[in-house]
Chains A and B, each alone.
Chain A
Amino acid sequence: MKSASELTDFYYTELYDSLQELEQERNAVRKKVLTLFGILGALSLLIIGAIYNSCHCFNESYIWVGVGATAIGGFGFRWLISGYRSGFKEKIIRPLIEAIEKELHYAPDAAIPQSLFQFSHLFEQRIDRFRGNDLVRGTLDGVSLQFSDIHAEHRSRDSKGREHWSTIFQGLFIVADFNKHFKGRTLILPDLAENLFGSFIGGMLQSRNFTKDQLVRMDDPAFEKAFVVYGTDQIEARYILTHTMMQRLLKLKKDTGSKVYVSFNGEKIMIAIDYDKDLFEPTVFSSLLSIDQAMGYIRTLRSSIGIVEELKLNEKLWSKT
């Protein structure tokens, strides 16, 4: 796989013409967006002023003006950037993925299916809205790999019947073949209980979590501090989570700097990295030519595709071929 510096060179040299073109488009879009926001802001103030002059009071109509302006703003923003956004994905993200690995295919508007996301059993809350984009799939060193952005949400209602949407997971979801045979399910989740309540009370809470499989205590203190493991089979969980695999997962957590969830189910490894934002989206308010922007896209793509190499999923050392 190409190094980050080789990819940065590729970004600035091979994609230079497309970047220049898109940068001009971005500037034009930015002006339109700022104009739209300005008009909406002024209109909102005018309407609020008119309402205040007519009744000299404060009521919930102001909130509705705000909500309406935000909704129109959001819709308008998406509409204004749609051409620039698809151009960016086709002219920048697709060539970058192909430069990393030719065997990978990119579908900007597709995502990992909800059924596969739920099959991981990493997030057991009811999903009421599921969206995603930027699907990359293919084979890398003989390992089948796919990943995409995912946003899964849950709907709830408060005592007044008002609807609220909460995010269950937003970030990168990666699915790959695993190089060992296993029958059961092993889940690795961020260790929230021990971090909040300490190892004694946190450990007790974890072992009494009746919604999960058996608690599997691992013999690596650093891993045990960062993650909590649940599994259907104590031996199988340790067969999957060797000391080297635990070290690799700890490194993955450190490198991404985010919450990492891992599921081993159906002979697949599924990894959810909580980025809390939509990745691979073009910037509107800062330059595409900025090194931080370029490195952000390259780093995310490289680390997602590099999972196969990083976790040594391509090592066919066992009887599984």
Chain B
Amino acid sequence: MTALIILAVVIVIIVLMYNSLVAKKNQVDNIFAGIDAVLKKRYNLIPNLVSSVQQYMQHERGILEKVTELRSQAMKPGISDEQKIALDKQITSALGSIMVAVESYPELKANTNIMHLQRTLSEVEAQISAARRAYNQAVTDYNNAIEMIPTNILANMMNYRRKQVFEITEDERKNVDVGALFKQ
């Protein structure tokens, strides 16, 4: 009888650990789907941005071509999550350079279409930043669970592997300061 009770308790603990691991993995996947959705919003804005600024930005042609190329790579079907994370980092940096360059062109800064694009892009950037933070928290919870005793044993049997987090720079931690951008 005692052996049966112990067995039942062990089974319940295993089931709870299994469910907790699956829930954490699903949470990571769900939030990554959210990131995908906001990244797509940004990809949709890029052609509009490039076509609006390219006639003015002769010296920055290289960066405009680079951002277009990165966008087409990111839009390819079947790329891995790790590749998406790497491309996102490069696109963020390229878009940042374009936005800084816009400041050197008074006719662009005053253009209502560009101003609207800047606002929309800043909003999307804030959403991406929020999605990255949510993803990183979910990945941290998941990574902790697959490395800590005793869930690591079960995670190993389930072939769960560590996931990569998005690197968040100090600038991003301070948020997208659109106010400062407009004042420049």
Using CB atoms and an 8 Å cutoff, list the residues of chain A in contact with chain B: 180, 217, 219, 234-239, 242-244, 315, 317-319
Contacts and interface: CB of A to CB of B under 8 A. Distances in A.
Contacts of A237: 130, 134
Given A235-B127, A236-B130, A243-B173, A317 B119 contact: yes
Interface string B15-42: 0000000000001000100110010000
Contacts of B174: 243-244
A166 B52 CA distance: 62
A317 B136 CA distance: 26
Contacts of B129: 238, 242
With a 10 A CB-CB cut-off, give which of A180, A219, A234, A243 has the most chain B CB atoms. A234
B127 A319 contact: no
22 contacts: A217-B141, A219-B133, A219-B137, A234-B27, A234-B34, A234-B137, A234-B138, A235-B38, A235-B131, A236-B130, A237-B130, A237-B134, A238-B130, A238-B131, A242-B175, A243-B175, A315-B179, A317-B122, A317-B178, A317-B182, A318-B119, A318-B178
A318 B176 CA distance: 11
Q: How large is the interface on B (under 10, 10 to 19, 20 to 34, 35 or more residues)?
A: 20 to 34
B60 interface: no
Nearest to B168: A219
A61 to B, nearest CB: 59
Contact of A319 (B34, B123, B137, B179): B123
Interface in B162-184: 173-175, 178-179, 182
Nearest to A240: B130
B92 interface: no
Interface of B: 27, 31, 34-35, 38, 116, 119-120, 122-123, 126-127, 129-131, 133-134, 136-138, 141, 173-175, 178-179, 182
Nearest to B182: A317
A310 B16 CA distance: 45
Contacts of B130: 235-239, 242
Closest 9 CB pairs of A and B: A239-B130, A238-B130, A234-B134, A317-B178, A242-B175, A235-B34, A238-B133, A235-B131, A318-B123
Contacts of A219: 133, 136-137
A235 B134 contact: yes
* Main secondary structure on B side of the interface with A: helix
A235 B129 CA distance: 9
Given A243-B173, A244-B175, A318-B119, A217 B137 contact: yes
Nearest to A207: B141
B31 A234 contact: yes
A318 to B, nearest CB: 5
A306 to B, nearest CB: 19
A188 to B, nearest CB: 15
Most chain A beta-carbon neighbours within 10 Å: one of B116, B119, B141: B119
A314 B21 CA distance: 43
A142 B24 CA distance: 43
B127 A239 contact: yes
A238 B132 CA distance: 9
A318 B122 contact: yes
Most chain-B Cβ atoms within 10 A of its Cβ — which of A217, A219, A235, A239?
A: A235
A294 to B, nearest CB: 35
A242 B137 contact: no
A114 B62 CA distance: 59
Contacts of A317: 119, 122, 178-179, 182
B131 to A, nearest CB: 5
A242 B126 contact: yes
Nearest to A220: B173
Given A234-B134, A239-B130, A318-B126, 11 more contacts: A180-B126, A234-B137, A235-B34, A235-B130, A237-B134, A239-B126, A242-B126, A242-B129, A243-B174, A315-B179, A318-B122
Given A317-B119, A318-B122, A319-B123, A238 B173 contact: no
A243 to B, nearest CB: 6
